[in-house]
Amino acid sequence: MPPAMQAAEGAGQRRNGPRILMNAAQRALSRGARSLSLGSPRSPPPSYGSIVTVLSIDGGGVRGIIPGTILAFLEEKLQDLDGPEARISDYFDVIAGTSTGGLVTAMLSAPDDAGRPLFAAKDINQFYLDHCPNIFPQASKGPFGLMRSMMGPKYNGEYLHSVVKELLGDMRVGDTLNNVVIPTFDIKLLQPTIFSTYNAMKDKSKNALLSDVCISTSAAPTYLPGHHFRTEHEDGKVREFNLIDGGVAANNPTLLAMTDVSKQILMGNPDFFPIKPADYGKFMILSLGTGTAKIEEKFDAAECSKWGLLGWLYNRGATPIIDSFSQASADLVDIHASVLFQALHCEKRYLRIQDDELKGETASVDVSTQENLNRLIDVGKALLKRQVCKVNAETGKNEPDQNRGTNEEELVNFAHMLSEERKARLQKEGNVDF
């Protein structure tokens, strides 16, 4: 049995008793108590340190392999500093993910029976290699697949649902090791629905099964079916969700993560005292894209002016209307965050890693052949060697940042900063002497 499915089997047998919703202070205490028995103690909350650490992962289907490759490198560097048991979730206060990024978020943050992450970062890509061919079967391509997608979703989603449910079992959003932020969009209410650990601990109706949230945030229009489920309020009143892909609202969830922290500060969450709600200079953010095909400049105004409904929904293997919306939302977030950190004179605390030069099948969200999946791993590895880029607010394009090194070098620096922050927090809490 593959490691991913072994983890899923264990997860499916996990706790079935009633849940106890803890407030933030209780959760921080429970994390501290658990960390005493571990080789790599989790970081205490930001109130014990000086910054808020955020990891954000874009949506992008099979292209989730690209951030998977980046995260494997970062976790390896953290292990070089703090030992082989170090995991990504030990260092980030908030992990946000949309669509495929939401699934990666769950893999990094969901606990196993020992209270450690279900997946090491190095295992993420193997999960994609094992399961993407069945989530996106290539038999759905070609003219018959196109006809089928005109009448319903391109893929039925049954395999994705079964794998996610088996992997995450009865775990709920409030059970995650980190505060996760996973966006979805309610097609019935026509508004975003954001799931986060902190919200789940305060509102029972938002403490949904993590599997339902992952299925929902991955339900990309035209590709996978929307997802319906119910939860209950404290008084027993039923709450219904009719959800589709979070990329409709926020394909790059960086700002959602920052907003979630600011909201917690406004509400007086002791995890973040004494940080102020708009004190963004104390944020440290790693934002991982899943790549784009901007370099192809595939369409122009003359061509799209002739399109009708079908042309906007499917054209030369792409979905222009969906691609435009999701890329626009991701780019606007990057522009906002980049300019914000420049204005605060703390550019080194914001690192966006994105490849705008995907071509052909690597730019697809659903080409799941082994050849393409392996090419995406190579894309991630090559991206590590490239110079750090920052978005040009005027042109919207990523340009090399002459003041920074390669993505690999910056991630090594990030690893050192994350390690030092974690050690300082543990020392202040009194858990560990260094």
- For the annotated catalytic residues, the residue numbers are 99, 245
Q: Where are the beta strands (DSSP E) in 99-142?
A: none
| Cα(406)–Cα(404) distance, integer angstroms | 7
| Cα(244)–Cα(219) distance, integer angstroms | 5
Burial class (CB in 10 A: 0-12, 13-18, 19+), 168: buried
Tell which residue, 63, 154, 127, 137, has the closest CA to residue 101.
63
- CB 353, CB 287: distance < 8 Å: yes
Q: Can you tell me which residue has the tokens 């910054």?
A: 51
Looking at the DSSP bridge assignments, the partners of residue 196 are: 181
| Cβ neighbours of 52 (radius 10 Å) | 26
- CB 220, CB 160: distance < 8 Å: no
Looking at the DSSP bridge assignments, the partners of residue 239 are: 231
Helices and strands per DSSP (H, E), number in the chain:
16, 10
Tokens of 412: 């090594």
3-state helix, strand, coil in the chain (%, to 5): 50, 15, 35
| Cα(331)–Cα(326) distance, integer angstroms | 9
Q: Can you tell me which residue has the tokens 């939302």?
A: 329
| Cα(101)–Cα(252) distance, integer angstroms | 9
Burial class (CB in 10 A: 0-12, 13-18, 19+), 302: exposed
- CB 164, CB 235: distance < 8 Å: no
Q: Can you tell me which residue has the tokens 């993505």?
A: 407
